[in-house]
Chains A and B, each alone.
Chain A
Amino acid sequence: MKRKKKLNSRPLSSYFFEIFMLCVCVLFMIPFYYLVVNTFKTAQEATKAPMALPRTLFLENYQRAFEGMNFLNSLTNTVIITVCSVTLIIIFGSMAAYAIERRQNRVTKACFYYFLIGFMIPVQSIIIPLFLVLQTLHLQNSIWGLIVLYTSWSNFAMFMYRGFLSGVPVDLEDAARIDGGSVWKTFWLIVFPLLKPITVTIMIFDVMWIWNDFLYPFLFLSSSKKGTLVMEVYKGVGEFTNDWARMMATMVIVLIPIVIFYIAMQKHIIAGITSGAVKG
């Protein structure tokens, strides 16, 4: 009863609390304000008053940033790498999860524990042999090599799919099997559509992970023609450290696509975590 009363008429303190939280929010977001606002200033103006709003809309930083990077090329590379890797991760991960969850015998159980070991292996501890493996496969310094590398981490998707599948009733599949459908058909036509909520969650987190990854492109994609967006920032820092307004413009350009993705997917992202799907 008490709670209901509170709902209808908010006490004054709750307004103060909300205002306080909004202030914290603003403080929290200041680094991004600082980043964006200084890209529209001349170097002098930015140094003198880094927090002030720009007096005029100065766009030369962006012009120079675009000149210093190969934006379209990097964007295309990043999109190809991300889309291909995430698609393959979802296909491989969901298929393996289905077999492991629905067909429990010694072989699939062994596979499950075998995939489990992957959680304990940090990427950085296998990079030296990975270099040799990629060389043997003639995939070094190629975006296809990178895609194959990301796809090899489909065991994480497998675990999430497996958890979700254990809550999906088998009746539908059994009916399809009795009607003479093969395992392959049953999986793709009946089961996979049912997995949509977890597929969306996995897709979002893998897109954010692969799009933002620095280590793999840094180590395995050294050619400047094949760089990704994050690599553009890294290269920019090496080339024009002192021209910091231009550096910040480069960062903003690189951040725009993923921020658009976040805004478009924001509901799913926060719903995905708060529903408890991503528990690690």
Chain B
Amino acid sequence: MGKFPLKSKPPMCGRMVVIMKIKKELPYLLLILPAFITYTILTFIPLAMTFGLSLSNWNGSVIKDLKFAGLTNYMSAFSDVRMTTALKNTLFYAVMNPVCVTILAIPLALALNSRMPTRNFQRAAFFFPSVPSILILGYLWSYIMSPMEFGILNKFFGLFGLDAIPWLSSPKMAIWSVLIVSVWSMVGWHACIYIAQMQGISSDFYEAASIDGASKAQQFFRITLPLLRPAVASSTLLLLTSALKVYELPYALTKGGPGSATTMLTQIVIQTGFINKKYGAATAMSIIFCAIVAAIGFIQYKVTHKKEV
């Protein structure tokens, strides 16, 4: 700041510099202020409070006689079977959902990027399941997957002589059913992310490759796939974080059941906090949940950054 041109008298100079600097910076700081205040009060302070409360013995509707309880809430969270089951379910879902969506979205993007007169219509149709609320889609699929007569999914498989599948009532099958619905609703959205990347790939690569006699499959694996890496990174990051936070879909489709087969971490946190009113335990679970999301998000971010350079 010594470079600042000083025109004022020497005794006043220090003060003037500060005042002038504030005058210059203040308009910019005022522009940040509204976002800063709402974010601080409604995101950052609550996070700090969650952390503070997780170390307390607060388990009532009013805050009184708060005592420092150390890590007891964390210990009981980890020894809670519901919590460990939910953790397993969430991690399974958070791995499988990005994998399944990506495996289907890339070929879909390839198809939707080829020259077809109905291409725009098809893109709009495949994107459509991302438009309605996922809660409503969950309820809709609970009818489709129903074992009752109107459950058209089993009727459809029945046409091929297959036995009825207990989509939502078998503990083993239920989490796959949640995955199916989630993949169906997201694959079009993520195909669009891949289309964006494909449009940036110069057609020269493909021309050169076909002159050299490379087959379509070789072109895909040697040119398209490696050049899609930045899109894979950002798409999987989106999928991963949203899968870790999944709440509405299993809630609408299976209510977390049968038993605890599709109970996710978010559901446990909300149940413990809002229904059982065990705030100390719920906040400890929240912090564990937050730490998992942050850690996985951070690792993904690092990997993404390396790839995109």
Contacts and interface: CB of A to CB of B under 8 A. Distances in A.
Interface of A: 2-3, 7, 10, 14, 17-18, 21-22, 25, 28-32, 34-35, 38, 46-48, 50-51, 91-93, 95-96, 98-100, 102-103, 105, 107-108, 111, 114-115, 117-130, 132-133, 148-149, 151-155, 158, 182-184, 187, 208, 211-215, 219, 230, 233-234, 237, 244, 247-248, 251, 254-255, 258-259, 262, 266, 269-270, 273-276, 278-280
B127 A270 contact: yes
B139 A279 contact: no
Contacts of B252: 237
A255 B128 contact: no
Interface stretch (B3-11, B74-82, B163-171, B286-294): B286-294
A172 to B, nearest CB: 18
Given A149-B42, A273-B196, A244 B143 contact: yes
Contacts of A10: 115
A99 B245 contact: no
Contacts of A266: 124
A275 to B, nearest CB: 6
A138 to B, nearest CB: 14
B245 A123 contact: yes
A93 to B, nearest CB: 6
Given A128-B282, A251-B139, A280-B237, A273 B35 contact: no
B32 A96 contact: yes
A123 to B, nearest CB: 7
Given A122-B244, A125-B290, 14 more contacts: A10-B115, A22-B118, A31-B140, A47-B150, A95-B32, A95-B34, A108-B32, A133-B46, A152-B41, A212-B135, A230-B136, A251-B139, A273-B189, A273-B196
Interface residues of B, number: 96
B202 interface: no
8 contacts: A3-B207, A103-B28, A111-B32, A117-B44, A128-B53, A208-B131, A247-B139, A266-B124
A107 B148 CA distance: 61
B270 interface: yes
Contact of B270 (A99, A127, A247): A127
B246 to A, nearest CB: 10
Given A251-B140, A255-B136, A274-B192, A129 B46 contact: yes
Contact of B49 (A118, A132, A270): A132
Contact of A148 (B42, B120, B241, B283): B42
Contacts of A91: 34
A214 B133 contact: yes
B203 interface: yes
A40 to B, nearest CB: 14
A28 B126 contact: yes
A67 B241 CA distance: 39
Interface string B246-288: 0110001000000000000110011001100001001100110
B215 interface: no
B29 A107 contact: yes
A269 B130 CA distance: 11
B226 to A, nearest CB: 18
Interface of B: 25, 27-32, 34-36, 38-39, 41-47, 49-50, 53, 63, 111-112, 114-118, 120, 122-137, 139-141, 143-144, 148-150, 152, 155, 184, 189, 192-193, 195-197, 199-200, 203, 207, 210, 234-235, 237-238, 241, 244-245, 247-248, 252, 265-266, 269-270, 273-274, 279, 282-283, 286-287, 289-290, 293-294, 297-298
A278 B193 contact: yes
Contacts of A258: 131-133
A115 B34 CA distance: 13
Contact of B28 (A99, A275, A276): A99
**Residue with the greatest number of chain B CB neighbours at <10 A, chosen from A25, A51, A114, A259:** A25
A274 B47 CA distance: 35
Contact of B247 (A124, A154, A234): A124
B135 A126 contact: no
Given A21-B122, A274-B196, A125 B289 contact: yes
B46 A215 contact: no
A25 B126 CA distance: 7
Nearest to B117: A18
Contact of B50 (A25, A29, A129, A278): A129
